[in-house]
Amino acid sequence: MNPATSITRAKTTEPQGTCYRVLMWEPSALPSEQLAEWAAQRRTLLSRMRDAGIKGSRGLLGQLENELKALTVKMIEEPLAQTERAAFSFARAEALGEALQAHDAVLAYRLGTAAAEILMQMLGEESMSDMLNHWQSATPGMSWCSEPIVQAMTAAEASVWQQESRCESDDEADTPGYTSGEFHHVTVLLNEAVEALQPAEGKVLVDATLGGGGHTERLLQAGAEVWGIDQDPSARAAAKARLAEFGERLHVVAGNFRNAAEMLRKHGVEQVDGLLADIGISSPQVDCAERGFSFLHEGPLDMRMNPSAPRSAADIVNTAAESEIADILWQYGEERASRAIARRIVQERAKAPITTTTQLADLIATVLPRKGKQHPATRSFQALRIAVNDELGALDALLQSGLSMLKSGGRFAVITFHSLEDRAVKRYFELVCKPEIDRPEWPAPRPNPAYAARLVYRKPITPTEQELSANPRSRSAKLRVIEKL
């Protein structure tokens, strides 16, 4: 192996137009103490980067990012390069794929999403879960985790990795609400949502956004049976692990909640006692650089909650028409400079594809000056995320089908995090809770054919001061609840 080329990050536009990185090493290539030391130093740096990001200190952030890169090169990449037992490139990913096909590989490795997808295609697997199932049976001595980071490791390796995050470059450690080594999301409006759903023994409830399982855990503790849906395999895996003690009272379902009714019907579930949706992304999704949601961390411009979804943010930015990009930024981000940003994106991508989060954030910053504390890319990133995951379309489909899944007296609770979502929920809930509708041209009000529920709370429930100070990410949360008549 040639260390000079093999230890650099593999950034390529081939074959999928995405930037990716593969880092592989044999289980014993590095002493576990060294890995633990690296993980500890990295946690400290990531925590300082988070603080700098919150304060908007771009200069300090850049300096810390460089320190982090230097640390990884010094403690991981250079020592690995000496061993000839590690590799960081697409070519090696191919080799790994071949070795796995031959069922003789006992490598510990971690792959970014894009690289795992490339492997999936190379191996002719239909889906990521099929690929993992085959690998699992090919390597019975290993424990496997699913996307976004695919990892296989021996028990000894796993114990080291458990001390840090499951994600290649996230920053949850040392952050309030995160526990080292776990997918951990601070659940928002926990008591309020649970109270609204009135969980009890014998009740069947649906958590359409299982995430880390925070709400579901409380529903299960109250004795209910829960169907938990999530489109993110890493969320499902984390929730399964966290909630294993509840055994068969928890059913984890993979998929998009836009199809919740259909998915449950396939499992023989027609009507339930309550439905919860805690819309949006989880903290691990946004904090994990590899997922590409955040402009604070360099990562591939991805933003897919479901890593198998067809269109990433990079696809939109590099292939959509200028007018489509401008519309996305305006409609989903209410970004006033949408046209100027779209124009700039199209100019830049003509020179080279825009493949990373920081590349896009820096480009937007050249169009928009920073005003106040908010980074100029905030609205554009929100907009792209909503477009990539068709978040409003999925919410709309859930709203339309939610009541049909409920028994009479069943509750439908939705937590939203921005005005576009809240507006949709508010309008729909108001519509179905009105016995009559009226129009100026009608002589008298008429019965409302959509009338099917009552508002449990007139106003949305928002986080208490206590919750806001413990978890600033809850600041824009709103809970609305209706009850089927």
Ligand X SMILES: C[S@@+](CC[C@H](N)C(=O)[O-])C[C@H]1O[C@@H](n2cnc3c(N)ncnc32)[C@H](O)[C@@H]1O
What binding mask, one character per residue, do residues 438-467 give for ligand X by CB under 6 A, x or -? ------------------------------
Instruction: Characterize the bridge pairing of strands 86-87 and 446-447.
Output: unpaired
**379 near ligand X, judged by CB under 6 A:** no
Binding window for ligand X (CB under 6 A); candidates: 28-36, 145-153, 204-212, 426-434: 204-212
CB-nearer residue toward ligand X: 105 or 414? 414
The SS3 of residue 145 is strand
**402 near ligand X, judged by CB under 6 A:** no
Instruction: Characterize the bridge pairing of strands 272-278 and 150-153.
Output: unpaired
What binding mask, one character per residue, do residues 217-256 give for ligand X by CB under 6 A, x or -? ------------xxxx--x--------------------x
CB of 214 to ligand X, least distance (A): 3
CB of 19 to ligand X, least distance (A): 22
Return the residue of 89, 146, 165, 209 that touches ligand X, per CB under 6 A: 209
CA distance 61 to 429: 43
For residue 420, give both structure tokens.
Answer: 């576009």
CB-nearer residue toward ligand X: 8 or 419? 419
**213 near ligand X, judged by CB under 6 A:** yes
Return the residue of 27, 53, 214, 300 that touches ligand X, per CB under 6 A: 214
CB of 121 to ligand X, least distance (A): 24
**282 near ligand X, judged by CB under 6 A:** yes
Residue 25's nearest CA partner among 38, 44, 42, 43 is 38
DSSP letter (8 states) at residue 371: B
**185 near ligand X, judged by CB under 6 A:** yes
Question: DSSP for 281-312?
Answer: --HHHHH-GGGT--TTS--BS---SSTT-S--
Which residues make Cβ contacts (< 8 Å) with residue 346, sequence separation at least 6?
322, 325
Binding window for ligand X (CB under 6 A); candidates: 27-35, 130-138, 211-219, 402-410: 211-219
CB of 256 to ligand X, least distance (A): 4
CB-nearer residue toward ligand X: 160 or 394? 394
**212 near ligand X, judged by CB under 6 A:** yes
Bridge partners (DSSP) of residue 446 are 437
Question: DSSP for 397-451?
Answer: HHHHHHGGGEEEEEEEEEEESSHHHHHHHHHHHHHHT-SEE--TTSSS-EE-TT-
Binding window for ligand X (CB under 6 A); candidates: 43-51, 64-72, 171-179, 276-284: 276-284
SS (H, E, C) 152-182: EECHHHHHHHHCCCCCCCCCCCCCCCCCCCC
CB-nearer residue toward ligand X: 229 or 237? 229
**211 near ligand X, judged by CB under 6 A:** yes
Match 């080291």 to its residue by tokens: 160
**394 near ligand X, judged by CB under 6 A:** yes
158 burial (CB, 10 Å; 0-12 / 13-18 / 19+) is middle
Residue 86's nearest CA partner among 153, 161, 187, 2 is 2
CB-nearer residue toward ligand X: 42 or 242? 242
Return the residue of 25, 38, 257, 428 that touches ligand X, per CB under 6 A: 257
**113 near ligand X, judged by CB under 6 A:** no
CB of 34 to ligand X, least distance (A): 33
**189 near ligand X, judged by CB under 6 A:** no
For residue 183, give both structure tokens.
Answer: 């997918």
| Helix or strand (DSSP H, E) at 321 | none
Instruction: Report whether 328 contacts 384 (CB < 8 A).
Output: yes
CA distance 321 to 168: 32
**278 near ligand X, judged by CB under 6 A:** yes
CB of 227 to ligand X, least distance (A): 12
Return the residue of 39, 75, 108, 305 that touches ligand X, per CB under 6 A: 305
Residue 121's nearest CA partner among 97, 150, 145 is 97
For residue 95, give both structure tokens.
Answer: 């080799």
CB-nearer residue toward ligand X: 229 or 354? 229
CB-nearer residue toward ligand X: 299 or 376? 299
For residue 413, give both structure tokens.
Answer: 């609770």
Binding site for ligand X (CB under 6 A): 185, 187, 209, 211-215, 229-232, 235, 256-258, 278, 280-282, 305, 394
